[in-house]
Amino acid sequence: MASSSSIDFKKMTVHILNDEDDLSSFECKNKEINDFIHNEAKQFQNERLGVSYIFSYEGKPVGFVTLSMADLRKGKMKSEDRLVIGKENYPALQISQLAVCAKLERKDIGTELCNFSLGKAYNFSEKVGCRFLVLNAKRDVVGFYEKYGFKLLPKQEERREPVMFLNIFDKKY
Ligand SMILES: CC(C)(COP(=O)(O)OP(=O)(O)OC[C@H]1O[C@@H](n2cnc3c(N)ncnc32)[C@H](O)[C@@H]1OP(=O)(O)O)[C@@H](O)C(=O)NCCC(=O)NCCS
């Protein structure tokens, strides 16, 4: 658990981004993500490229994550991480733009965003195939995702944003 959590998660609400949302005051530490949230997220969602979820606390947006469909190529994984079943591409749920407002970092909100995404992946997996969570990690947050249980795909050294994955049935929720 991150240090001195003062967040009462029972008071946290989550909703899907809508036209009335004003996220102009939301600032995380990553400028690229802020740009997406401020300028692109609504259009992205209108085009059905990704649905964004807003986490609010005491009436203010404090967390953000975009979910979309993806797949994970078996051939890119270490043999120990592959499933026994013979499928070349595993269905997955993609996490992107996961962000916590800078003033409230290290209070477990990022973990809450991952838990939420994992919960969605479990739910989806009962209706459509979904076995992994995947994401492209900013280099400085690889450790955060590793703590949660994500693994790096091999040979990601050259990539600006290495691919990470989590087998959703390896994680207790
Ligand atoms: C990365 C981010 C989402 C983490 O959110 P957070 O709410 O501060 O994370 P949590 O409080 O849930 O931290 C969970 C654990 O990860 C650790 N952690 C947090 N950020 C970390 C980082 N950048 N590197 C390594 N470990 C990290 C915490 O110390 C905590 O460890 P503990 O359980 O041992 O105490 C947040 O820093 C952020 O929004 N960053 C800017 C946007 C960004 O880069 N997003 C990632 C896009 S790929």
CA distance 44 to 34: 14
CA 110 to ligand 1 center in whole angstroms: 6
- Of the pLDDT bands very low, low, confident and very high (cuts 50, 70, 90), residue 171 is confident
| Residue 30 belongs to some domain of the structure | yes
Residue 50 lies in a domain: yes
Give yes or no for residue 172 having a pLDDT over 70: no
Task: Say if residue 2's pLDDT is above 60.
Answer: yes
CATH of the domain at 136: 3.40.630.30
Indicate the number of domains in the chain: 1
- The Å distance, Cα 99 to ligand 1 centre, comes to 9
* Residue 16 pLDDT greater than 70, yes or no: yes
Express each pLDDT in 52-87 by its tens digit: 999 999 999 999 999 999 999 999 999 999 999 878
**Do the domain assignments include residue 172?**
no
Residue 113: per-residue pLDDT: 98
**How high is the pLDDT of residue 20?**
96
Q: Which residues contact 49 (CB under 8 A, 6 or more apart)?
A: 68
Q: How far is ligand 1, taken at its centre, from the CA of residue 144, in Å?
A: 5
Decide whether any atom of ligand 1 lies within 6 Å of the 2 Cβ: yes
- Residue 107: C-alpha distances to residues 81, 104, 112, 116 (Å): 31, 6, 10, 16
Q: Is the pLDDT of residue 123 over 70?
A: yes
For residue 140, what are the domain limits?
4-167
Q: Is 100 part of a structural domain of the chain? A: yes
Predicted confidence at residue 150, as pLDDT, reads 98
DSSP string, 50-84: -EEEEEEETTEEEEEEEEEEEEEEGGGS-GGGS-S
Mean pLDDT across the stretch 141-162?
A: 96
pLDDT of residue 1: 61
Would the CB of 137 count as within 6 Å of ligand 1?
yes
The DSSP bridge pattern shows strands 89-100 and 132-136 to be parallel
Within a domain: 173: no
